[in-house]
Amino acid sequence: MTLADIKYGEKFIIEKINDKNTRMQALRFGIGEGSEIECAGRLPGGPVILKKNLQEIAIGRKMAEKISIKEKEKEIF
């Protein structure tokens, strides 16, 4: 599953960023492998809006397709 496949409100963990240039750009945004992130929105055919802590950033669809993710396990209280 890639970052381009997520839906609004889903929480996930960045699993792998294979492309070196994409990895470097993601790190500039504060996103790396193992980061826990939430989808704050998505535009049809456009960017995916991510939320980490109190920061929101938009990631282009082409870049999002190069980032592998896994769903964060649901917390049970």
- pLDDT score for 53: 87
Q: What is the pTM of this model?
A: 0.84
Topology given in CATH for the domain delimited by 3-71: SH3 type barrels. (2.30.30)
**What is the token pair recorded at 56?**
């929101």
Confidence category of residue 45, pLDDT binned at 50, 70, 90: confident
Q: Mean pLDDT throughout 18-39?
A: 91
**What is the token pair recorded at 71?**
């769903």
**Side chain identity at 5, as an amino acid letter?**
D
**Side chain identity at 32, as an amino acid letter?**
G
Confidence category of residue 67, pLDDT binned at 50, 70, 90: very high
pLDDT for residue 73 is more than 80: no
Confidence category of residue 57, pLDDT binned at 50, 70, 90: very high
Q: Parse the chain into domains and list their residue ranges.
A: 3-71
